[in-house]
Structure 1
Amino acid sequence: MKFISTRGGMDPAPFSETLIEGLAPDGGLTVPEHLPTVSLAEIESWRDLRYPELATEVISRFATDIPRAELARMCAAAYDSEKFVSPEIVPLTPIGETITLVGLSEGPTLAFKDMAMQFLGEALEYVLTQHERTLNILGATSGDTGSAAEYALRGKDGVSVFMLSPQGRMSAFQRAQMYSLTEPNIHNIAIDGVFDDCQNLVKELSGDLEFKRAHHLGTVNSINLGRITAQVVYYFWAWLRATDALGAEARSTQHISVTVPSGNFGNILSGHFARRMGVPIRRLVLAANENNVLDDFFRTGIYRPRSAAQTHATSSPSMDISKASNLERFIFDLVGGDGTALAGLWQLLDTEGSFDLTAERDRFADEFGIVSGTSTHEDRVSTIRSVHAETGIIIDPHTADGVKVAREYLEPGVPMLVLETAKPTKFPDIVEEAIGERPALPPHLGGLLDLPQYVTEMPDSAAELRNFISERALL
Structure 2
Amino acid sequence: MKYQSTRGGMAPVPFCDILLEGLAPDGGLALPVSLPQISKAQLESWRGLSYAELAAQVLGLFIDDIPTNDLLRLTQAAYAPEVFPRIAPLKPLRPGVSLLGLSEGPTLAFKDMAMQFLGQVFEYVLAQRGQTLNVLGATSGDTGSAAEYALRGKRGVAVFMLSPHGRMSAFQRAQMYSLQDANIHNIAVRGVFDECQDIVKALAGDLGFKNRHNLGAVNSINWARIAAQIVYYVWGWLRATTEPGQKVSFAVPSGNFGNILAGHLARQMGVPIHRLVLASNENNVLEEFFRTGVYRPRPASQTYATSSPSMDISRASNFERFVFDLVAQDPARVRSLMSDLKQDGQFDLSDLKPQLADRYGFVAGTSTHADRLSTIRAVYQESGLLIDPHTADGVHVALSHLDPGIPMLVLETALPAKFSETILEATGRQPEIPVALQDLQQQPQRFEIMDCDASLVADYLRRHAL
User: Shorter-chain-normalised TM-score: which range?
Assistant: over 0.9
| 2:375 equivalent to 1:383 | yes
Matches within 5 A, 1:291-370: 291-370=283-362
User: TM-score w.r.t. structure 1 length?
Assistant: 0.98
Following TM superposition, by how much is the alpha carbon of 1:252 offset from its aligned partner in structure 2, in angstroms? 2.3
Instruction: Please tell me the residue identity of whatever aligns with 1:331.
Output: V
Consecutive unaligned residues of structure 1, counting only runs of 5 or more, are none
Shift of 1:440: 1.9
Give, in angstroms, the shift of residue 360 of structure 1: 0.2
Shift of 1:337: 1.0
Q: 1:411 aligns with which of 396, 403, 423?
A: 403
Report deviation, 1:253: 3.6
* Distance in 2, Cα, partners of 1:447 & 1:357: 49
**1:167: Cα distance to partner?**
0.3
Separation in structure 2 between the aligned mates of residue 8 and residue 408 of structure 1, nearest angstrom: 39
Q: Is the Cα contact below 8 Å between 2:36 and 2:62 reproduced in 1?
A: yes
1:170 alignment counterpart: 168
Q: In the alignment, residue 240 of structure 1 is paired with which amino acid?
A: L
**Deviation larger for 436-445 or 190-199:** 436-445
Q: Partner of 1:409: helix, strand, or coil? A: coil
Alignment partner for residue 363 of structure 2, among 354, 359, 371? 371
Per-residue deviation, 1:446: 1.2
Alpha-carbon offset, residue 85 of structure 1:
2.7
In structure 2, the residue corresponding to 1:387 is in which secondary structure? helix
Is this contact kept in 1: 2:40–2:245, CA < 8 A?
A: no
Task: Provide the C-alpha distance between the structure 1 equivalents of 2:239 and 2:231, rounded to a whole number of angstroms.
Answer: 12
Q: State the secondary structure of the residue aligned to 1:431.
A: helix
What one-letter code is carried by the residue in structure 2 that aligns with 1:73? R
For the residue of structure 1 that corresponds to 2:187, the secondary structure is strand
Aligned to 1:283, what secondary structure does the other structure show?
strand
Q: Deviations over 1:145-178 (max 9, x none)?
A: 0000000000000000000000000000000000
Aligned residue for 2:23?
23
What residue number does 2:460 align with? 468
Structure 2, unaligned stretches of length 5 or more? none
Deviation at 1:98, TM superposition (A): 2.6
Deviation per residue, 1:42-74 (Å, 9 max, x gap): 010000000000000000000111100110000
Structure 2 counterpart of 1:465, one-letter code: V
Corresponding residue number in structure 2 for 1:37: 37
2:226, 2:262 within 8 Å by CA — same for their partners in 1?
A: yes
Instruction: Name the CA distance, whole Å, in 2 between partners of 1:388 and 1:222.
Output: 31
> Alpha-carbon deviation of 1:96?
1.2
Q: Distance in 1 between matches of 2:460 and 2:169?
A: 25
2:109 alignment partner in structure 1: 111
TM-score of the superposition, structure 2-length normalised?
1.00
Per-residue CA distance 1:110-165 (angstroms, 9 max, x = gap)? 00000000000000001101111000000000000000000000000000000000
- Give the aligned partner of residue 134 of structure 2: 136
Q: Which amino acid aligns with 1:389?
A: Q
Output one character per residue of 1:400-459: Cα deviation in whole Å (capped at 9) or x when no partner.
000000000001011111000000000001100111011121111111010010110001
* Residue correspondences, number: 466
What SS does the corresponding residue of 1:444 show, helix, strand or coil?
helix
Other-structure match for 1:8:
8
Say which of 396, 412, 417 aligns to 1:420: 412
- Residue type of the alignment partner of 2:136: L
* Structure 2 counterpart of 1:100: 98
SS at match of 1:121: helix
Distance in 1, matches of 2:402 and 2:119, equals 37
CA contact (8 A) 2:374 2:426 kept: yes
Q: Secondary structure at the match of 1:305?
A: coil
